[in-house]
Amino acid sequence: MAYRLGIIGYGGMGEWHHQNINKKIKEIEVIGAFDLREERRDKAQESGLKAYTTIEELLQDESLDLVTIATPNDSHKDYTVACLRAGKHVICEKPVTMNVAELIEIMEAAKENNKLFSIHQNRRWDKDYTIIKAIYDQNILGKPYIIQSRVQGSRRALHGWRGYKVNGGGMVLDWGVHMLDQLLQLTGEKVVSVNAHLHQIFAPEVDDHFEVMLRFEGGLTALVEVSMNCFITQPRWHMTCTEGTAVVEDWDGKGKMVTLKEESEMEWENEIVYTSAGPTRTMAPRPVHTTIELPLPEVEVDWANYYKNIVGVLNGEEELIVRPEQALRVMQVIECIFKSQDQGISISCEI
Ligand code: NAD
């Protein structure tokens, strides 16, 4: 028998959840959806769902085991708590909440009502990230000490609610949440300082470009950058390790690793080299034949694995992969980001 799921917020992402579950997760049946807007309720109905006309109707539907929340960010907390209290398991879209206090309220409600609560951090299954994680976990290039994670577009426009502060708009709470979640899962190390610079280039209320520098306990530093006004993009990932460098260019996972040839010694004289930018000993290019270019590791990825894990947990067969306490760390870092921006300083922390 399949688990019965309802959706709150049948917009871009709500509809995606419906279609994706239909295609890939036979253990979950999407039953119905509630949306504030009539046109989206009509759309849900046209797509074969029951359209709840009020939130109470959805909450009172005792046949629902599970609810996915895909509304703008400022309504996540209230809907999640209401669903948990109504005895339903909950999956909430990212960012889970607007701040740490709201998330703690949800975690308490989940505990009190003994229900599963998870956050749709689907980008843990992105190809680019999974490749970087494989290089990190398998120690392929030695110890990583600088990681740069960038997402850069040039469309400039923040659509609808994403442009408003009250709705939790802006790029830190949009892409930033995914990229921070990826980094925190990558290393497992504590974050010990956060330095952020948020820009408002075109958006009047919220950040539309940011750079955040995180320092981790073991010495690793990570730069996270999102831009909406970048016309010459940099790689999605650039990772500097003690034994080489890895670049993942894009979401498709194109890129390469470069490391030293095993037998290569420093085979040049320690003398000044005259480059077109003048003389230098340290920065003259390394002879190409002393390095080797390696293909990136092959990885298999599928966003559907997120829901497969939820089914496994509900069946009592698996541990939950995306856990609330992990989202709590991300929200704590995000609070440091806003604090760093407000105060113009680096924030020390232990997260
Ligand atoms: P959207 O604007 O396309 O859809 C939101 C829907 O919610 C709309 O249909 C709107 O009418 C409805 N709505 C608004 N307020 C509501 C309320 N109080 N109660 C009920 N319905 C309400 O937005 P979206 O792009 O689908 O984003 C929704 C959520 O999904 C956001 O939290 C966003 O961050 C998240 N998201 C996640 C990913 C991902 O990859 N995980 C991608 C995109 C969006």
Q: How far is the CA of 177 from the centre of ligand 1 (A)?
A: 15
Q: What is the DSSP letter of 172?
A: I
- Pocket test of ligand 1: the residue of 36, 52, 91 to mutate, having most ligand atoms within 8 Å of its CB, is 36
Residue of 7, 333, 23, 15 whose CA lies nearest to 195: 333
Pocket lined around ligand 1, Cβ cut-off 6 Å: 8-14, 35-37, 40, 70-73, 75, 93-94, 120, 122, 160-161, 174
Q: Is the pLDDT of residue 269 over 80?
A: no
What is the number of other CB atoms lying within 10 angstroms of the CB of residue 346?
14
Residues whose CB is less than 8 angstroms from the CB of residue 285 and which lie 6 or more positions away in sequence, other chains included: 275
Q: Same structural domain for residues 237 and 295?
A: yes
Residue 336 pLDDT > 90:
yes
C-alpha distances out from residue 294 to 48, 126, 144, 235, Å: 49, 21, 17, 17
- CA–centroid distance, residue 73 to ligand 1 (Å): 7
The pair of three-digit structure tokens given for residue 109, joined into one six-digit string? 């409600």
Ligand 1 atom nearest residue 71's Cα: 7
Same domain, 108 and 26: yes
Q: Would you state the pLDDT for residue 267?
A: 64
User: Distance, CA 17 to ligand 1 centroid (Å)?
Assistant: 11
Strand partners, 260: 291
| Ligand 1: centre distance to CA 267 (Å) | 58
Question: Does 73 share its domain with 147?
Answer: no
Higher pLDDT, 81 or 281: 81
Distance from the alpha carbon of residue 255 to the mean position of ligand 1, in angstroms: 33
Q: How far is the CA of 92 from the centre of ligand 1 (A)?
A: 11
Beta strands 191-199 and 347-348 are antiparallel
**Interval between CA 93 and ligand 1 midpoint (Å):** 8
pLDDT exceeds cutoff 70 at 183: yes
Rounded Cα gap, residues 250 and 256, in angstroms: 11
251 and 130 share one domain:
yes
Q: Is the pLDDT of residue 50 over 80?
A: yes
Token representation of residue 267: 């085979």
Please name the residue whose Cα sits nearest to atom 38 of ligand 1.
13
The gap from C-alpha 138 to its chain's centroid, in whole angstroms, comes to 22
Evaluate whether residue 103 is within a structural domain: yes
- Best probe residue, ligand 1, of 35, 42, 75 (max atoms within 8 Å of C-beta): 35
Mutational test site, ligand 1, from 8, 10, 13, 177, max ligand atoms within 8 Å of CB: 13
Q: State the CATH number of the domain containing residue 295.
A: 3.30.360.10
Q: Domain with 52 in it: what CATH number?
A: 3.40.50.720
Mean pLDDT computed over every residue of the chain? 96
Residue 295 located in a structural domain: yes
Question: What is the rounded CA–CA span in Å between residue 301 and residue 298?
Answer: 10
Give the DSSP letter of residue 148.
Answer: E
Q: Which atom of ligand 1 is nearest to the CA of 69?
A: 29
Q: Scan for tokens 């994706």, then name that residue.
A: 20
Q: Are residues 16 and 42 in the same domain?
A: yes
Q: Which of 76, 104, 120 is the last residue of a domain?
A: 120
138 and 250 share one domain: yes
Cβ–Cβ < 8 Å for 314, 116: yes
297 and 152 in a common domain: yes
Same domain, 141 and 268: yes
Q: What is the pLDDT of residues 27-47, one digit of tens each?
A: 999 999 999 999 999 999 999
The reply to whether 320 falls in a domain is no
CA-nearest residue for atom 35, ligand 1, is 93
Torsion of CA 269, 270, 275, 280, to 10 degrees: 180
pLDDT interval class at 273 (50, 70, 90): confident
pLDDT in tens, 116-153: 999 999 999 999 999 999 999 999 999 999 999 999 99
- 203 with 287, same domain: the answer is yes
Instruction: For ligand 1, pick from 38, 93, 162, 181 the residue to mutate: most ligand atoms within 8 Å of CB.
Output: 93
Residues 109 and 171 in one domain: no
Distance, in Å, from the CA atom of 324 to the CA atom of 89, rounded to the nearest integer, reads 13
How many angstroms is it from 7 CA to the middle of ligand 1?
11
* Structure-block tokens of residue 182: 């990826």
Nearest to 309 by CA among 99, 83, 159, 89: 89
If one counts the domains in the chain, the total is: 2
- In this structure, are 93 and 140 located in the same domain? no
Q: Could you tell me if residue 316 is inside a domain?
A: no
Residue 266 scores a pLDDT above 90: no
What is the band of 265 on the pLDDT scale with cuts at 50, 70, 90?
Answer: low
Which residue has tokens 């923040």? 158
Domain boundary among 94, 120, 146: 120
What pLDDT is stored for residue 264 in this prediction?
Answer: 61
Which pLDDT tens digit goes with each residue over 229-264? 999 999 999 999 999 999 999 999 999 999 998 766
Q: What are the start-end ranges of the E strands in the chain?
A: 3-8, 28-34, 50-52, 66-69, 89-92, 117-119, 144-152, 191-199, 209-216, 221-227, 237-241, 244-248, 255-260, 273-275, 278-280, 291-294, 347-348
Atom 2 of ligand 1: nearest residue by CA position: 11
Residue 296 Cα to ligand 1 middle (Å): 35
Exposed (0-12), middle (13-18) or buried (19+): which is 83, by Cβ within 10 Å?
Answer: buried
Print burial letters for 244-280: b (CB count within 10 Å at least 16), e (below 16): bbbbbbeeebebebebeeeeeeeeeeeeeeeeeeeee
Which domain, by its residues, includes 336?
A: 124-301+332-348
d(CA 105, CA 37): 27
Kindly report whether the peptide bond that precedes residue 95 is cis, defined as omega within 30 degrees of 0.
yes
| pLDDT confidence of residue 270 | 72
| Residue 317 resides in a domain | no
Mark whether 209 and 274 lie in a shared domain. yes
